[in-house]
Structure 1
């Protein structure tokens, strides 16, 4: 027997978060507001950004396990699944910024699945799982999805390189310093602390990792009088009112965690400025604007413009005249979809002077209702699960969902934020550190906490200065599906780009496909729309330049590349700081599998750097023998009849002529010098100390020739590279699952079920048959996904098996 315990449907939680606004007819639209709204609409439409969310099978991992994930790619405005095919990159990145795994997924209609097997030589420590579409690179890395993980490796102490021990100790030292350093920051509502009016000020007490702490204190004026009392609520956030006087000096004395109080400066006090205050009830949003700006102030404006948008789509724009230094706007919250609404106040000259973020929750996150039963087929038992997905009105919803079930102590390594708070909340906030539910779940009045939280964060998806000026974002990256190989061709002899020059791409690995392109006027080449699976061996080639110089390839990465790890609320100390008792050297330990650089394939160079290299142009050479090549092109040689002398007039062998080698073997001078140049790729001349590598036989210098190699015609220079193809997701083990010894009290978290492709039809229902788990007495299920209507859903529940 079994019973469903503790069902938590997070859509119900978000319904209670109603504290927002909606625009209403309380303001008259005019041309000024229309221009700003039109510019914002153009900006958003031009960028056409995405959001990515990864549903992971669990929150903590160990080497030898697999990270199973489902990727959801949605339109950044509507949250509807991205139509068609799109590339998604998923990267596992270490604290040193090196990628330890990269997966290229081909998303179809907004969904894709994948997995990352964690190898036994993966270093134990903190990692970031980063995901983004190819198009999202246009809006910058701040908008990428990231999830912090700690991956343990029981064997790491017995293979850790010495340098990593040093790095781990430095990392832990830095982490400790950040954990013990406290700060208090103040955020006036609307952005300005203005004299002569009541200012609502939010504040946060936090450590260097961004974790909130309890704090108490007071605000004093220049005479030492207490004018406000401070006390934090949930996660180190609080709010107070302050009515400063012009010319006044104000300071905060705050004690964090009961320690000695320190003095903190408040934001600069403006004698003139604008204050924006926002309040709401269940139906309406009220915006109040106060101003004490005189006509001599450059920011003076009797007419002010209010623009409100959600995720870059304008929802309200109107202009208002100040009456006795203030005005008020009431807005119907039904005009704004669920998510963060952004209100900005502008002067008539389109200069932003105040802004406010509010969270609108219309209670429309999807309701996911599971029903569980047991069936038998002979000796096999199965868990039968049916899902019903509906909207807030009970109507069925079509969509894509994924399910994970873990046994053991679920969440011992932290937890992953769900798709609902990510899409509606943290994905649009600048510097959001950690899971927003950590703040909101602990609050008695969730609306007030969300309000205070948003007063301490800023909008991150565009800059109003660009929008007001009508400047559209630069589009540098294509969102077209397919693998791309791109780069630039340069002439190293002249340090110039090579335009209008042919480049070839040959796909090996059993495909043997050939593609051709020509560089543009800036030397760039591009091969796109390629569809190959797995890691693919490839070759780039181009003709030799005049003088037989090889062109130089500068490759452009498909993925975002550079990554800098930031310490944060989910960062843990690195546990391995010394070698274990059974330590042995493992040269592959901790190495990134992507550290291999592209290799240029030419005739091998094994004797170091020569004093001179003569490239023989396959098409333009005029000499008939190598002797003529040396006589016409070599420098520092002395020709005594038919002898070629590099060094002085004496030698212990009685001869002072140079020695000759062909492809690494010494040959007779006559055979060498009579060679036809068409057979030779290059000639290298070693003299003096450079010839010491040849020993006694190099005493008079060495002239070395390389013949043209098989597969290397002399017409082309070839670069070998490994190309990242599309990831082929493995199937999760779906036969009978037996986990002997795994109980709810064990300090282990194992993925028992993973189903990444659940599709609900017109009736909003889906059914699953899962092999019965014979070793777990409690399972924690997580189901989440996105409807075709753009609404996210999340549900989690525990199942006790008796």
Structure 2
């Protein structure tokens, strides 16, 4: 491994830049996350199993900076967090799972993972993957949806057809076409007159995926200058020499027969440009071009860096139009590298990214089995070898999954990614990359050229050179988390003055009762750190001033939850989820039926309608501020109806309130959404106080006694204009609430339900060597045959995993991924046949 560190021997402006970059990297290291999942898609009722890897720095070493990882399951249809878990990181690795409730609907979901430290920077660096989830549980109807686009974004045509789960007849669908688009990206960012310039381009369908295209370039005199065509995923490149005073237009014909025109960026009469040759084995050649008027004998600098870590730095004197830099490939890390040409004042003149395919920095990983063909319920042992004999250490942290391809078909339409695509490519660029795994399969010169087209057309997270040179630090709001903690400040009543030397005590009310105390500092602050608790743990926090008086307030530190940002992988969304994974859903249905037959899974039962009368609701509500009278509401929920362990009240209520939807934690009545005159959130009233709609996220679910939902005109009329979008009336617990201590709402005491660690479950593997039991006759219809998240090789690079085959013939795909102590990433696939 090689990187340049600033030393006293490096003089002048470039030395100062290197010093500042060193300081930047040390102060703001970049973390990345990758989740290895057991399958590329799921069904409701399934379990999602995953292994988390958190790396840091340019060489993807396992991170010791953050000790906690957040993983969210998001419904892409409405961008709502369905589940959110918090996992402990040990030396940069963790493991977890999601249970997909039977109540979930089919659709596209997202798995998002990040650390608290990563929240300070671009969310494009988060792990974020679109995940199809089908439904084979609730009914036998498969929804078939089609979308088409007309004059975007004004109109979208939608058509829904139906078929049975066996793929019965479906009506023909209307097909509409909208003209695709094309964009052009000059190498280095500009078209500079007189320079042979490489121009990348990307042709896209309306839904954001590539489309094949051919075309040619004409100048403002109508003369044909150059021709071009796409290579892969709608991308390609061509070269031409732009002339000063000329304008250029591309004439394009797309694969669907439509045509179009697109103007290229304006030509600069004078400037700097880059031309990169990234196809040689041992070196990367960078040609810097300067217009005639800029050739003045000045010194320019070339830097090759990744996230601030510099791997190559050189200076050259401009005595003619061209200046050549030869960058040894062995110096560069594998992955995205940024090349920047700097002025004598160390200001960026032009820059671009390249992808460095350095196979020496990839972990050799091989899988072998004793046999290629196995019988049913037969034991399989997979031998795993990491590294090479010359390596000083061959210890690697890995994870392994085995799926039955007959039940989980995986073809070119399935986007599953891998550790290479996530940590080496997607996390270092902005926007959507179509089929990134394609570029890492059977790499050759053709793939390298196609990947360079990605680099030409994709944005990336750039260093702000002006801020760097001015020592302007980025704003840091979220520190790296080292442990679970509860902190806050003790003040006089009303929160005006901090109370120093106050005694603060926390009492946990979970399975294990724990009592811990501390004393506030001069600013009234206190912290309980290095805590260990799980999601369902609740705390009572008590404070007394220096004289033992309880007439104080406690303000707990609450970090706002990460908002759901745009889904950059929207083009990966599957329009017809159930249809696209129909084979998988058929097996899932059989599997559920078999488990029900043996009493391992309960059947879904349609409950008889229960009529809730006003008297029934009134008996539930005791201390409500409802102007209609306690219980006079369209719906009433009590504390018993809430799921314990919810990170916020909005999450607890998601899907539980009739006619209410949530957008980023704010409640809306479905009667007001898109209404011509009313389209605003529901009014939130907490113990008689009118609150802002987003205050729902700050209410502790443990404190809630009842929730009354007012949506109908008869119930909302009394609230006038404030009730136009509906009303949520929340009443908190009082001293007479069953199982609730009345002291909770006395001065100096608050309750707290922070998000604790998720208690990870263990994947079930049948052991057919054991004596047969009452379940021996049950058919084994597993889709994930084996999941092993904690695979560690020894010093010699060897380890193994074992599992038993199931009852169906087919082909098993074994995938092992991970990284070693040097940060080298590995990915290996092996197939066996079951007869």
Q: CA deviation at 1:125?
A: 1.3
Distance 1:237 1:182 in 2: 13
Match for residue 382 of structure 2 among 358, 382, 385: 385
Q: CA deviation at 1:434?
A: 4.2
1:563 is aligned to 565
Distance 1:572 1:530 in 2: 42
Q: Within 5 Å, give how 1:228-627 maps onto structure 2.
A: 228-280=226-278, 281-292=280-291, 294=293, 302-364=298-360, 365-373=362-370, 381-391=378-388, 397-407=394-404, 408-411=407-410, 414-439=414-439, 441=441, 445-460=446-461, 462-486=463-487, 505-515=506-516, 526-540=527-541, 553=555, 556-557=558-559, 560-566=562-568, 568-573=570-575, 593-596=646-649, 609=688
Q: CA deviation at 1:424?
A: 2.1
CA separation of 1:178 and 1:135: change in aligned 2, threshold 3 A: farther
Q: CA deviation at 1:66?
A: 0.5
Gaps of 5+ in 1: 1-20, 161-169, 600-605, 612-688, 691-704, 744-748
Distance 2:395 2:223 in 1: 61
1:136 is aligned to 118
2:34 is aligned to 53
2:16 is aligned to 35
CA separation of 1:293 and 1:485: change in aligned 2, threshold 3 A: farther
Q: CA deviation at 1:61?
A: 0.5
* Greater RCO (Cα-Cα under 8 Å, separation 6 or more): 1
CA separation of 1:537 and 1:581: change in aligned 2, threshold 3 A: closer
Match for residue 788 of structure 1 among 821, 825, 834: 821
Indicate the SS of the match to 2:512.
Answer: coil
Contact 2:337/2:355, CA 8 A, preserved across alignment: yes
Q: Within 5 Å, give how 1:655-694 maps onto structure 2.
A: none
Based on CA coordinates, which of the two structures has the bigger radius of gyration? 1
Contact 1:505/1:541, CA 8 A, preserved across alignment: yes
RMSD, aligned α-carbons: 4.5
Match for residue 65 of structure 1 among 38, 42, 46: 46
Q: CA deviation at 1:268?
A: 2.4
Distance 1:739 1:783 in 2: 32
Q: CA deviation at 1:722?
A: 2.6
Contact 1:493/1:549, CA 8 A, preserved across alignment: no
1:632 is aligned to none
Cα deviation 1:379-409 (Å, max 9, x = unaligned): 9842122111124968872111111001123
Distance 2:269 2:608 in 1: 68
1:724 is aligned to 755
Equivalent pairs counted in the alignment come to 656
Q: Within 5 Å, give how 1:80-159 maps onto structure 2.
A: 80-83=61-64, 86-95=67-76, 96-155=78-137
Of 244-253 and 468-477, the range deviating more from structure 2: 468-477
**TM-score normalized by structure 1?**
0.72
Q: CA deviation at 1:583?
A: 11
CA separation of 1:714 and 1:190: change in aligned 2, threshold 3 A: closer
Indicate the SS of the match to 1:757.
Answer: strand
Contact 1:131/1:146, CA 8 A, preserved across alignment: yes
Distance 1:468 1:530 in 2: 41
Of 311-320 and 337-346, the range deviating more from structure 2: 311-320
Distance 1:509 1:571 in 2: 40
Indicate the SS of the match to 1:459.
Answer: coil
Distance 1:243 1:270 in 2: 12
Matched, 1:76 2:57: yes
Distance 2:784 2:818 in 1: 19
Contact 1:357/1:458, CA 8 A, preserved across alignment: no
Distance 2:566 2:363 in 1: 36
Q: CA deviation at 1:766?
A: 0.4
Distance 1:471 1:522 in 2: 28
CA separation of 1:210 and 1:772: change in aligned 2, threshold 3 A: same
Distance 1:293 1:332 in 2: 29
Contact 1:419/1:792, CA 8 A, preserved across alignment: yes
Distance 2:33 2:23 in 1: 23
Contact 1:80/1:790, CA 8 A, preserved across alignment: yes
Indicate the SS of the match to 2:26.
Answer: helix
Indicate the SS of the match to 2:438.
Answer: helix
Distance 2:264 2:501 in 1: 61
**TM-score normalized by structure 2?**
0.69
Contact 2:243/2:267, CA 8 A, preserved across alignment: no
Q: CA deviation at 1:363?
A: 0.9
